Amino acid sequence: MELSKKYADLLDKDDVLSSFRNKFIIPEKEGIQRTYFLGNSLGLQPKTTSNSIDYILHQWGNEGVESFFNGERPWMDLHDQLLGPLSQIAGAQKQEISVMGQLTINIHLMFVSFFRPEGKRHKMLVEAKAFPSDQYAFTSYLEHLGLNPADHLIEIQPQKENSAIQDEDIIAAIEKHADEIALVFIGGVNYYTGQLFDLERIAKAAKSAGAMIGYDLAHAIGNAELKLHEWGVDFACWCSYKYLNGGPGAVGAIFVHDNHLHNKQISRLNGWWGYKKEERFKMHKLFNPAPDATSWQLGTPSMILYACLKASLQIFEEAGWKAVLEKQAKIRSFLALSIKELKSPIFTCLTPDKRGCQVSLLFHEKGRQVYDRLFEQGFMVDWREPNVIRLAPVPLYNSFNDIWKFHHSMKEILASV
């Protein structure tokens, strides 16, 4: 791989997914398309999303509540239509996925089922500097159980400040505290550093220790190859507005390993939408759960949000998940090269080689100026106080020329700030 405009052109020419960019609305500034590198934050809007929403509005308008059951595309079937592409992306069986709620809510629901402190086994092992909402969730959940987080939380720190956490350190801590850990809960890709953890090895270590293993996959779903079923992960949850392009506040999802779907020792909070689908409307007093992960659903889901996600998952299906991953690997290498060749002393790349699309650049000086200049020049990247620029070019709507342009502009900006 070489870093040149000619090579970027060649990569774009050979890119079997190049036409997929046209399926998205690319933000513009004064009529010129911006270069959008924020798949890690809010994925772009598929052009089909508005039609997908309109169809639900049309059904609602024409058929009212009948739309749940009647017509060509009854709302009751919408959830299951999301499972094909999602199960492929998550490496899961269809019955292990339930598309529901929002991520932070789902984290709490998963803790209810999978964090069951008992006897000596009463601790939760997590990564230091997890996404703030996860930190609020695990500390408040411990407090809700009457447990002091200072005594019941094991936080794995990076060896040096502002660096990635070593997988080995997580595994060593799991082994060290094997008798005390009830749950290991890690963000699959760290939101700040972009590090992709070795989810297979961590799951194996947690299971050998006799603990439950759960992942927050907000930054990993649609951004990394996952084999949740095969790895024996107990549960996972994610949001769909980043790499899955499901829209702002998109409906989230959970994965529950099929080992647990009929496990009477796993308890849940119940609601009528988790009732066995065929009998839900018989309105029985006693709860009869669905035989799959949808038993974790609580209330009526938004058909509009399902429709948004359906529009974007159809694009993944058309592209083929394997092709998305293949292009991602090339983007990753081209971006890594383009950053390395900047050879600038004013920033360090925080992200280790094991990562998805995201790269985080830690600025020792002038970071904000660089960010502002990038923005002026049409690049949409992300500024994290106090000194980090994150960027995540993605396979479905970014080109290799986008990365070349970024390199070219950064070179100019770094020379002039």
Ligand X SMILES: Cc1ncc(COP(=O)(O)O)c(C=O)c1O
Q: Is 361 in the site for ligand X (CB under 6 A)?
A: no
For residue 87, the minimal CB distance to ligand X (Å) is 21
**Taking CB under 6 A as the rule, does residue 255 contact ligand X?**
no
By beta-carbon proximity to ligand X, the closer residue of 134 and 292 is 134
Q: Which stretch binds ligand X (CB under 6 A): 84-92, 131-139, 280-288, 289-297?
A: 131-139
The burial of 411, by beta-carbon neighbours within 10 Å (0-12 exposed, 13-18 middle, 19 or more buried), is given as: middle
* Site for ligand X contains 131 (CB under 6 A): yes
Min separation Cβ 246 and ligand X, Å: 11
DSSP string, 32-75: EE-EE-BTTT-PPEETTHHHHHHHHHHHHHHHGGGGGT-SSS-G
- Cα atoms in the 13 Å half-sphere on the side-chain side of 81: 16
- Minimum Å gap between C-beta 298 and ligand X is 15
Note whether 187 binds ligand X by CB under 6 A: yes
Helix (H) / strand (E) element for 254: namely: strand 253-256
Q: Which two tokens stand for residue 204?
A: 């194996």
Amino acid at 232: G
Query: Is residue 35 at the binding interface for ligand X, with CB under 6 A as the rule?
Result: no
**Could you tell me if 309 and 246 are in contact, meaning their C-beta atoms sit under 8 angstroms apart?**
yes
Indicate whether 239 belongs to the interface with ligand X (CB under 6 A).
yes
Under the binding rule (CB under 6 A), the answer on residue 191 touching ligand X is yes
Asked if 129 is part of the footprint of ligand X (rule: CB under 6 A), the reply reads: no
* Per CB under 6 A, 167 contacts ligand X: no
* CA–CA distance, 416 with 207 (Å, rounded to integer): 52
Query: Applying CB under 6 A, does 104 fall inside the site for ligand X?
Result: yes
The residue count for binding ligand X (CB under 6 A) is: 12
Among 102, 163, 369, 401, the residue binding ligand X under the rule CB under 6 A is 102
Residue 187 or 222: the one with the smaller Cβ distance to ligand X is 187
Of residues 243 and 334, the one with the C-beta less far from ligand X: 243
Is residue 127 at the binding interface for ligand X, with CB under 6 A as the rule? no
Q: How far is it, in rounded angstroms, from Cα 302 to Cα 315?
A: 21
309 belongs to the binding site for ligand X (CB under 6 A): no
103 binds ligand X (CB under 6 A): yes
Nearer CB in complex with ligand X: 15/167 = 167
- How near is the Cβ of 237 to ligand X at its closest, in Å? 9
- Cβ neighbours for 240, distance < 8 A, ≥ 6 positions apart: 221, 246, 250, 251, 252, 253, 309, 312
In the stretch 13-32, what mask flags binding to ligand X with x, by CB under 6 A?
--------------------
Q: How far apart are CA 205 and CA 200, in angstroms?
A: 9
Contact between 218 and ligand X (CB under 6 A)?
yes
CA dihedral 273, 276, 280, 285 (to 10 degrees): -100
| Stretch of residues binding ligand X (CB under 6 A), selected from 26-34, 143-151, 212-220, 399-407 | 212-220
Conformation bin of residue 194: beta by default, left when phi > 0, alpha when psi is -120 to 50? left
Establish if 135 lies at the interface with ligand X (CB under 6 A): no
**Nearest-CA neighbor of 397 among 25, 52, 29, 32?**
25
CB 273 within 8 Å of CB 280: yes
Backbone angles phi, psi at 216, to 5 degrees: -90, 115
Residue 133 is a binding residue for ligand X (CB under 6 A): yes
Which of the stretches 121-129, 165-173, 216-224, 278-286 binds ligand X when contact is defined by CB under 6 A? 216-224
Task: Tell me the residue type at 222.
Answer: G
In angstroms, give the least distance from the CB of 384 to ligand X.
12
Q: Please tell me whether residue 219 binds ligand X under the rule CB under 6 A.
A: yes
Say which residue the tokens 């398309």 belong to.
33
Q: Which residues bind ligand X (CB under 6 A)?
A: 102-104, 131, 133-134, 187, 191, 216, 218-219, 239
